[in-house]
Structure 1
């Protein structure tokens, strides 16, 4: 009797498969911020803020032999002046540009491709800085009193935090000098008397100074994002601009889909019909139709590419309107389809956007009929009047082919989107064995 097969090995859990950070990798990540140039530009950005209280302190109360009260007075006295400077709209722009340059990684920082953050505890903010040069900082002038208030808070924070960082940095440097045996005549914050054997502790203040530079830079960056970030109005404007760009891209995609899809469908149908007919005269007509349709598609493609390249040149020709529907109908008839068209009303008087979009909808509806049903009878009814435009395209379903799902396909979706943008509606589906595309657009 054969032995039973061994039980399958348990599959590793996701927690077990993902490697946990080892103490060695943590130790390797610690010195990363120390080799990044942005760490020191952030520290410098804060220290620059201490210039105002230091200059004011030299005037009053004087910094020849300052005590804690003197430093407090030097920190508090310039606050009204700094807050008043924030009332200038350009102050926000100046602070935003300076913060972008000094607080966020760029070419001056030794970061490649966004990798290599500041180490553990960065909060994910620094990793995103490498991919975003602006760092979420606005460089627009103050447009409201809220912007001015946030700018005033930022200037006060930068001044007070800069003074504190400057005092701690100088004090730590003096501590390192004293522990190394160098005498300091005027210590910034109290005297330090080293004991014997204290020279071995001299590197500790320097390490503390480096840690101070890293921690202060991260704090400065987060406060800058909070106080110098875009306002609600700026975010709404950016969101509207992004929406406009997405709508323009979708419109261009629909233009290419409708124009090139129609041209390629007619070319395929005409070529197949010419090969099946074997008639030289019919082949000549088919080639002429393919040439005309291809030339029109190339013009549409050139116009769309000019828009994409944003060269500033005007397109060679305007988009065709519904008054040129005869060209579409003739192209469909030349492919073998029997098109019964009925046009009521004056198409030349239609509004430009309605006329252009209706042309593309008719083009897509005829293309779908030729592509999915072949050379079948197609009914086209266009009615312009009563403050609305109605476009109805019908064709019988081919035998042996299941009906399409109503609303499926990118072409039908494009028709619905075009109609919705103009405040109209578009419906498609099967009714009594006939495929119908029914579009209604308002003219006002």
Structure 2
């Protein structure tokens, strides 16, 4: 019994009911204008659904009232991009209005039928209700009084679920939108992989330089060399912190452009930090580095960073030749 009544305790049940009532406001206004053509609002929905922006409004309403609180309800909030999307929007509008008619009629007549059955059971003769105005008063009608309420329960809960399923089907993302979402998700995963690699390269390079400098300063026992080593460690640490802050900023702001990552134009910083670590770096740069495409230049920077890090980590202060 508790499971049966559980939908009546959910706010979603009543927001879905409200969603079906909203189109009936337009219908009620039209009935004041012309009572003889109640079908005319459904005819107006055809050109209305062909307007691309209508799909946005319907998607927002459906998300807000049919699937409140769901992170991914499967309902699009974008304008119609194809004629297929426009036709789906037209079908959705007609379905929503049709179900709205049923809900409004059930919400009015089923409680009235329940009340009239109770009146019949109490000995009063019902009047003004089709099919019930001819019933003779009798106590046995009390047994049938709950049936209209059960029917109303089925209409409210069942049509609420039906309209939600229809919204997911008719207002859901098209094949092109699903493909775009998949590409965006793939790009996000690739970006996270790049971020993890950048953290490894940047922090690994900084720590390698710091360890090499500290070890060399302790072995040299020269105050002047120690002073230079501490300066190099400080400069490398600051650069690593800047890289770390930039990468964390990308994590905090998903829409932040990747163009802020360092490129080969910033390679001088890497070369100077390697020289400060004791390596004799000979650099030869040919051609306009600034003209290299962004993705290639950024990857080239990371390759150079990894190469210098590995040289310092595994070979120590040795001569290094760099050609770009």
Go from structure 1 to structure 2 and tell me whether the alpha carbon gap of 1:346 and 1:160 turns closer, same or farther (over 3 Å shift).
closer
- The match for 1:236 is 179
Residue 227 of structure 2 is matched in structure 1 by: 284
Unaligned runs of 5+ in 1: 1-26, 63-73, 107-128, 384-444
Matched, 1:218 2:161: yes
Contact 1:47–1:165 (CA<8 Å) still a contact in 2?
yes
Query: d(CA) in 2 for partners of 1:46 and 1:319?
Result: 50
Q: Paired residue for 1:209, among 131, 152, 176?
A: 152
**Residue 187 (structure 1) aligns with:** 129
Confirm or deny that 1:82 pairs with 2:23: no
Relative contact order (C-alpha < 8 Å, sep 6+): which is higher?
Answer: 2
- TM-score normalized by structure 1? 0.61
Once the 2 structures are TM-superposed, how far is the Cα of residue 163 of structure 1 from its aligned partner? Answer: 1.6
- CA–CA distance in structure 2, aligned partners of residues 341 and 201 of structure 1: 97
- Tell me how many residue pairs correspond in the alignment: 317
Is the alpha carbon distance of 1:304 and 1:186 closer, same or farther for their aligned partners in structure 2, counting shifts above 3 Å? same
Separation in 2, partners of 1:50, 1:323: 64
Q: Deviations over 1:37-80 (max 9, x none)?
A: 22022123224444566666774548xxxxxxxxxxx55x5543
Q: CA RMSD in A?
A: 3.5
Closer, same or farther: CA 198–369 of 1 in aligned 2, 3 Å: same
Please list every run of 5 or more consecutive structure 2 residues that lacks an aligned counterpart in the other structure: none
Alignment match, 1:345: 286
Report what 1:65 is aligned to.
none
Would you say 1:97 and 2:35 are equivalent positions? no
- Cα separation, partners in 2 of 1:41 and 1:351, compared to 1, 3 Å: same
Q: How far, CA to CA, are the matches of 1:78 and 1:362 in structure 2?
A: 68
Shift of the 366–93 alpha-carbon distance from structure 1 to 2, 3 Å rule, reads same
Match of 1:36 in 2: 10
In the alignment, the residues of structure 2 paired with residue 143 and residue 188 of structure 1 have an alpha-carbon distance, to the nearest angstrom, of 48
- Change in CA separation of 1:184 and 1:235 when aligned onto 2, cut-off 3 Å: farther
Larger fraction in helix: 2
Q: Residue in 1 aligned with 2:321?
A: 380
Whether 2:206 is the aligned partner of 1:268: answer: no
TM-fit CA distance, 1:266: 0.8
Residue 48 to residue 190, structure 1, CA distance change in 2 (3 Å): farther
Contact 2:116 2:132 in 1 (8 A): no
1:430 is aligned to: none
Give a deviation string over 1:352-395, Cα, whole Å, max 9, x none.
52344322211112213333x24164653425xxxxxxxxxxxx
Alignment correspondent of 1:409: none
TM-score by length of 2: 0.81
Q: Distance in 1 between matches of 2:183 and 2:44?
A: 37
Q: For residues 180-224 of structure 1, give each alpha carbon's deviation from its aligned partner in whole angstroms, at most 9, with x where no partner exists.
A: 116553326665626323224423322331232111100010001
Asked whether the 8 Å contact 1:177–1:184 carries over to 2, the reply is no
